[in-house]
């Protein structure tokens, strides 16, 4: 990539920032706040929406809300500024999987795209030469996105619990960045990412082992400490492969992938049907089709990217073992003894779990005390023979506005005020609340739906606004009133045509 002086980059980004501001001005965006204000409750201000999460999902959701004229919002993220989301924490791939041309969180604005940000600094030639987006560079772009849009993310604020308080939600806060211990809001958006409605998937076979001997791929891992060690990575998905590469590059003596599958997944099936039709149409499909599509995607599995896989296989001490499920793991003489389902035994020093995340609302502290009242897919749909899937059944069965639905009507009505804008929405609403391709469309749906709900809830206020509105468009000097003539006035004569 052509080297660019720091001052030139700063100038080019400022020019792009002016372009963003001009585009927003031309679009009259964001509009003024139209939502009827709520009176403080016990002296505490009431917010219209609180967005939990300041990563990619939270940023574009907040921007969409502002563009819908919903301005009385707060955005909280538990991470320090600039470390939101996985991109520079536990994500370890060299580049993004998504093609560089996808517009992601740009929300229909060319000036907000990654391409605009990249070419402003490095030029069109560098863009043409770019293959995939480097992962740390994507985080730099998101930091700029937040800055140029002046999105008011409050960092180092952890939302511990969401509980009902009358017709509002009370959020209990922790963290060094909080300005208060409690905030009130009419609606909450859980833009909490890949594990946003669940937790890391920790298999039973490691539960009894010392934590110094294993780690999940979402955790901080001291790869330098693995130099000269034997490492086993469970799984062959993207996170498993990326962590294997990190261990190899840190000098691990060997890295062995153990996979239950009999062969490596090679085709990203959902990519083959990606279109605005799929994005827009998926939520409107019946339960049978939504389940069928997601079940097929789960069964075929998304493969690790080619570049990530080559990053591992170029090492002679990397090994891929298939049809190698784990029966048990024992601790013997300070090392780990893994017995596979085929009966073979493998000795190793450290295990990395590339086992992903599972959806489990009961694991979320934010929903503590009532998560069991959330309707799940297994509560609403019985799949046909051959399509049963425990993982899919654990996903929340959401309304069209991403909100939770009560398992039993009338027992937790406030759930409709909590919107699940994260991976947990996948089975109900498709890939519109986490993945780069559909994130702007999902944010737009979310904002419009919340706007509609806020308006209908305050319809009496808006009716009164209609009655009270008295700003004239005409001043009275634009016309002159005329008297009607008497009924017997003379009509113009009509000429007859020639006979």
Domains of the chain, first to last: 6-198+359-457 (3.50.50.60), 202-266+303-355 (3.50.50.60)
Question: Which two tokens mark 468?
Answer: 């009270």
Q: How far apart are the C-alpha atoms of 360 and 367, rounded to whole Å?
A: 11
pLDDT at 334: 85
Q: How far apart are the C-alpha atoms of 406 and 416, rounded to whole Å?
A: 8
Q: Would you call 123 exposed, middle or buried from its count of C-beta atoms within 10 A (0-12, 13-18, 19+)?
A: middle
CA-CA-CA-CA torsion for 200, 201, 207, 213, nearest 10 degrees?
Answer: -70
Bridge partners for 172 per DSSP: 161, 182
CA-CA-CA-CA torsion for 74, 75, 77, 83, nearest 10 degrees?
Answer: -140
Question: What DSSP designation does 132 have?
Answer: S
Q: How many CA atoms within 13 Å lie on the side-chain side of 63?
A: 27
Alpha carbon of 35 to those of 46, 359, 427: distances in Å? 12, 34, 31
To which residue do tokens 């990519």 refer?
A: 271
Q: How far apart are the C-alpha atoms of 97 and 366, rounded to whole Å?
A: 31
CA–chain centroid gap for 278, Å, is 18
Beta-sheet pairing, 230-234 with 182-190: unpaired
Q: Across the beta sheet with 326-332, what order do the strands follow?
A: 326-332, 335-340, 345-348
Q: 198, 360 in Cβ contact below 8 A?
A: yes
Q: How far apart are the C-alpha atoms of 130 and 437, rounded to whole Å?
A: 19
To which residue do tokens 């017997």 refer?
A: 488
**DSSP character string of 236-278:** -SHHHHHHHHHHHHTT-SEEEEE-SSSS-----GGGGG-SHHH
pLDDT at 272: 85
Q: 419, 48 in Cβ contact below 8 A?
A: no
Question: Which two tokens mark 479?
Answer: 């016309």
To which residue do tokens 């863009």 refer?
A: 127
Question: What DSSP designation does 155 have?
Answer: -
* Contacts with 389 (C-beta within 8 Å, 6 or more apart), sequence order: 295, 298, 383
Question: Which two tokens mark 195?
Answer: 């594990």
Beta strands in 40-146 (DSSP E): 46-52, 73-76
The phi and psi torsions of 149 (rounded to 5 degrees) equal -95, 0
Beta strands in 53-181 (DSSP E): 73-76, 153-154, 158-165, 168-174
pLDDT at 492: 60
Sequential pLDDT tens for the chain (499 residues) = 555 566 678 889 999 999 999 999 999 999 999 999 999 988 999 999 999 999 999 999 999 999 999 999 999 999 999 999 999 999 999 999 999 999 999 999 999 999 999 999 999 999 999 999 999 999 999 999 999 999 999 999 999 999 999 999 999 999 999 999 999 999 999 999 989 999 999 999 999 999 999 999 999 999 999 999 999 999 999 999 999 999 999 999 999 999 999 999 999 988 888 889 999 999 999 999 999 999 999 999 999 999 999 999 999 999 999 999 999 999 998 899 999 999 999 999 999 999 999 999 999 999 999 999 999 999 999 999 999 999 999 999 999 999 999 999 999 999 999 999 999 999 999 999 988 999 999 999 999 999 999 999 999 999 999 999 999 999 999 999 999 998 765 566 555 554 4
């Amino acid at each position: 990539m052509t080297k660019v002086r720091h001052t030139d980059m700063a100038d080019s980004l400022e020019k792009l920032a002016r372009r963003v501001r001009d585009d927003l001005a031309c679009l009259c965006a964001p509009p003024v706040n139209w939502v009827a204000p709520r009176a403080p409750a016990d002296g505490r201000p009431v917010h219209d929406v609180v967005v939990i999460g300041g990563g990619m999902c939270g940023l574009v959701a907040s921007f969409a809300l502002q563009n819908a004229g919903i301005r009385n919002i707060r955005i909280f993220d538990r991470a320090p500024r600039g470390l939101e989301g996985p991109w520079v924490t536990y994500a370890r791939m060299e580049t993004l999987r998504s093609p560089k041309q996808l517009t992601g969180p740009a929300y229909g604005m060319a000036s907000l795209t990654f391409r605009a940000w990249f070419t402003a600094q490095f030029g069109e030639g560098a863009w043409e030469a770019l293959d995939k987006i480097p992962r740390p560079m994507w985080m730099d772009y998101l930091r700029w996105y937040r800055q140029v849009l002046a999105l008011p993310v409050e960092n180092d604020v952890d939302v511990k619990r969401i509980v009902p308080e009358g017709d509002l939600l009370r959020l209990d806060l922790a963290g060094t960045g909080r300005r208060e211990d409690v905030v009130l809001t009419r609606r909450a958006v859980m833009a909490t990412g890949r594990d946003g409605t669940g937790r890391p998937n920790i298999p039973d076979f490691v539960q009894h082992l010392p934590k110094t001997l294993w780690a999940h791929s979402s955790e901080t891992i001291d790869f330098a400490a693995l130099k000269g060690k034997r490492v086993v990575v469970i799984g062959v998905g993207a996170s498993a492969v990326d962590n294997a590469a990190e261990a190899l590059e840190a000098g691990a003596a060997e890295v062995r992938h153990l996979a239950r599958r009999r062969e490596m997944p090679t085709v990203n099936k959902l990519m083959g049907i990606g279109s605005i039709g799929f994005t827009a149409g998926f939520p409107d499909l019946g339960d049978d089709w939504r389940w069928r599509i997601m079940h097929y995607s789960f069964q075929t599995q998304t493969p690790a990217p080619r570049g990530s896989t080559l990053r591992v296989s170029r090492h002679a001490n990397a090994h891929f073992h298939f049809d190698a499920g784990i029966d048990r793991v024992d601790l013997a003489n300070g090392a780990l003894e893994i017995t596979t389902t085929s009966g073979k035994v493998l000795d190793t020093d450290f295990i990395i779990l590339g086992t992903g995340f599972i959806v489990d609302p009961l694991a979320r502290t934010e929903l503590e005390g009532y998560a069991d009242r959330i309707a799940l897919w297994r509560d609403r749909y019985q799949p046909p023979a051959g399509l049963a899937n425990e993982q899919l059944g654990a996903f929340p069965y959401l309304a069209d506005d991403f909100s939770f639905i009560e398992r039993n009507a009338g027992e937790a009505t406030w759930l409709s005020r909590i919107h699940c804008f994260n991976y947990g929405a996948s089975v109900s609403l498709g890939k519109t609340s986490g993945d780069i391709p559909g994130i702007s469309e999902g944010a737009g749906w979310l904002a419009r739906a919340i706007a509609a709900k806020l308006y209908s809830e305050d319809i009496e206020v808006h009716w009164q606004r209609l009655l009270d509105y008295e700003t004239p468009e005409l001043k009275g000097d634009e016309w002159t009133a005329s008297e009607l003539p008497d009924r017997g006035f003379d009509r113009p004569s009509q000429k007859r045509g020639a006979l």
